[in-house]
């Protein structure tokens, strides 16, 4: 190295720089402060979730240790006044309401997404798309109100009784999850390269054949993603369900018979519950927390799968 001829004036001492400007202290501090500020924001989001989980877990734990996980999770009767804290009927209620809403809402939502992404001319899309997104912005109490005043009487005529029950909840929830499933499905369809569509049309496929044989299969994982997130929305929905489902904490008996779900029961009982009853409500919150965590993890896993296959 020492033998190399020097052709220009290189500084001989490390740390010397004549022409290069040094980073100013002000810039350095500004950068560092901003970096830490963003870190703090991210931390607060995580801390919020963690705190809620710890708090709910702490308050709800005695229901498992004192009443017993078996009696709580698989108990057939929810009669807090008699010391019976079985949430199985409520859990089943949540599942029934959610699955019904998915069965009703998914075909409509996927159909709407296909229409928006593949069929609608730009003008119609520019009207329908915001309308679908607007559905997501309507407060759930408004959906509940609509269900209570408009849908419930219709359902009552159909099924007999008062119209409080799963059928009304299914319809309301189905409408509520349409934007979630539709926008995510549309995203999945839009992420398919146009070359794939061209190839299919050039092979002599019709629009319908292209959609059903190429595009929907290609968007499969994205659609399952969308459905799972819609499921999360449905299972966690409280107010709208509470207003129409009837809130009778028994097992599912029929489409027009009152029912209760985990979320609606928590709201119903919260104002007056005390002691072990209150602990049981926190226990239900733990279950809801775990279910939605499971759903989010499933979606994560699926998107990793999607990255690997593409």
Partner 1 sequence: MSHTLAEHQPGFVPTADACVKIAVRGLDFFYGDFQALTDITCDIRDNSVTAFIGPSGCGKSTFLRCFNRMNDLIIGTKVEGLITLDGQDIYAPGVDPVDLRRRIGMIFQQPNPFPMSIYDNVAYGPRLHGMKKKADLDEVVETSLKRANLWKEVKDILGRGGLTLSGGQQQRLCIARVLAVQPDVLLMDEPCSAIDPTSVQKIEDLMAELKSTVTIIIVTHNMQQAARVSDETAFFLQEVMGEPAMLVEFGRTADIFTSPKDKRTEDYITGRFG
Which of 32, 52, 69, 203 is in the footprint of partner 1 by CB under 8 A? 203
Tokens 């549309």 belong to 186
How many residues form the binding site for partner 1 (CB under 8 A)?
21
190 touching partner 1, by CB under 8 A = no
CB closer to partner 1, 132 vs 205:
205
Closest CA to 147 of 245, 269, 252: 245
* Contact flag: residue 121 with partner 1 (CB under 8 A): yes
Does 51 contact partner 1 by CB under 8 A? no
Q: Which is nearer to partner 1, 213 or 253 (CB)?
A: 213
Could you say whether residue 205 binds partner 1 (CB under 8 A)? yes
Please list every residue from 226 through 265 that binds partner 1, using CB under 8 A. Answer: none
Instruction: Show the 3-state SS of the chain.
Output: CCCCCCCCCCCCCCCCCCCCCCCCHHHHHHHHHHHHHHHHHHHHHHHHHHHHHHHHHHHHHHHHHHHHHHHHHCCCCEEHHHCEECCHHHHHHHHHHHHHHHHHHHHHHHHHHHHHHHHCCHHHHHHHHHHHHHHHHCCHHHHHHHHHHHHHHHHHHHHCCCCCCHHHHHHHHHHHHHHHHHHHHHHHHHCCCHHHHHHHHHCCCCHHHHHHHHHHHHCHHHHHHHHHHHHHHHHHCCHHHHHHHECCCCCCCCCCCCECCHHHHHHHHCCCCCHHHHHHHHHHHHHHHHHHHHHHHHHHHHHHHHHHHC
Candidate ranges 73-81, 126-134, 192-200, 254-262; the one touching partner 1 (CB under 8 A):
192-200
Rule CB under 8 A: is residue 218 a binding residue for partner 1?
yes
Closer residue to partner 1, CB minimum distance, 205 or 268 = 205
Q: From 198, 192, 193, select the one nearest 218 (Cα to Cα).
A: 192
Q: Which stretch binds partner 1 (CB under 8 A): 98-106, 198-206, 247-255, 297-305?
A: 198-206
If binding is defined by CB under 8 A, does position 224 make contact with partner 1? no
CB 265 within 8 A of CB 284: yes
CB of 204 to partner 1, least distance (A): 4
**Choices 140-148, 177-185, 190-198, 227-235; region in contact with partner 1 by CB under 8 A:** 190-198
CB 207 within 8 A of CB 118: yes
Does 200 bind partner 1 (CB under 8 A)? Our answer is yes
Residue 266 near residue 284 (C-beta atoms within 8 A)? yes
Q: According to the binding rule CB under 8 A, does residue 310 interact with partner 1? A: yes
Stretch that binds partner 1, among 70-78, 102-110, 191-199, 285-293 (CB under 8 A): 191-199
Is residue 5 near partner 1 by the rule CB under 8 A?
A: no
CB of 27 or CB of 207, closer to partner 1 = 207
Residue closer to partner 1 (CB basis): 210 or 264: 210
Q: Which is nearer to partner 1, 185 or 238 (CB)?
A: 185
The binder of partner 1 chosen from 5, 11, 195, 271 (CB under 8 A)? 195
Provide the binding-site residues for partner 1, judged by CB under 8 A.
121, 192-193, 195-196, 198-206, 209, 213-214, 217-218, 309-310
């Amino acid at each position: 190295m020492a033998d190399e001829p020097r052709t220009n004036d290189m500084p001989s001492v490390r740390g010397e720089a004549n022409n290069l400007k040094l980073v100013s202290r002000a810039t350095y501090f500004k950068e560092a402060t901003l970096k830490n500020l963003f870190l703090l924001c991210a931390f607060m989001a995580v801390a919020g979730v963690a705190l809620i989980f710890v708090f709910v877990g702490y308050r709800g734990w005695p229901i498992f240790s004192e009443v017993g996980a078996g009696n709580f999770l698989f108990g057939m009767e929810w009669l807090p006044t008699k010391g019976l804290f079985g949430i199985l009927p409520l859990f089943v209620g949540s599942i029934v309401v959610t699955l019904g809403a998915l069965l009703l809402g998914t075909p409509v939502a996927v159909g709407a997404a296909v229409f928006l992404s593949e069929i609608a001319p730009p003008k119609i899309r520019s009207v329908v798309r915001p309308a679908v997104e607007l559905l997501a912005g309507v407060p759930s109490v408004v959906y509940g109100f609509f269900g209570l005043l408009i849908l419930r009487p219709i359902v009552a005529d159909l099924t007999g009784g008062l119209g409080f029950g799963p059928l009304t909840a299914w319809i309301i929830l189905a409408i509520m999850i349409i934007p979630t499933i539709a926008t995510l499905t549309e995203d999945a369809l839009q992420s398919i390269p146009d070359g794939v569509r061209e190839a299919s049309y050039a092979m002599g496929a019709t629009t319908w054949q292209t959609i059903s044989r190429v595009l929907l299969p290609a968007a499969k994982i994205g659609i399952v993603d969308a459905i799972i997130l819609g499921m999360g929305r449905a299972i966690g929905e409280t107010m709208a369900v509470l207003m129409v489902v009837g809130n009778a904490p028994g097992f599912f008996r029929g489409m027009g018979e009152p029912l209760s779900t985990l979320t609606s029961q928590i709201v119903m009982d919260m104002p007056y519950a005390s002691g072990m009853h209150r602990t049981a409500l926190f226990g239900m919150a733990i279950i809801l927390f775990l279910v939605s965590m499971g759903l989010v993890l499933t979606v994560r896993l699926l998107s990793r799968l999607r990255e690997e296959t593409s």
